[in-house]
Amino acid sequence: MIIGSEGPSAPQCSRAGCRADAIRGVHWRNPRIHGIDRVKVWAACDEHVDFLAEFLRSRDFPVIVTALGETVDSVGVETTS
Ligand SMILES: [Zn+2]
């Protein structure tokens, strides 16, 4: 798994093999190792944002998807109803 990094240049999608410009930010946290104030961010293109979010949700990680460049203070545990 490639972990996207934030930088000043136009970020690319975090999906392996995808070279598209990212337009979405996928904010997530691994509750097993990350504190509540820890937020990891993957950049994603429009095509793969759902793939990346579902990848994380399938591991029971809380996920928040925003426009690229937006920040979130924390990623809480999502309620599944
Ligand atoms: Zn992509």
Distance from Cα 45 to the centre of ligand 1, integer Å:
4
Q: Is residue 39 part of a domain?
A: yes
CA of 31 to the centre of ligand 1 (A): 25
Q: What is the pLDDT of residue 36?
A: 86
- What pLDDT is recorded for position 77? 62
Longest dimension (CA), the chain: 39
Element housing 54 (H / E): helix 49-57
pLDDT tens across 11-51, in order? 899 999 999 999 999 999 999 999 888 999 999 999 999 99
pLDDT given for residue 1 in this prediction: 52
Q: Read off the amino acid at residue 5.
A: S
User: Is there a domain that residue 60 lies in?
Assistant: yes
**How many domains would you assign to the chain?**
1
Domain interval for residue 52: 24-67
pTM score = 0.80
Whether 34 is covered by a domain: the verdict is yes
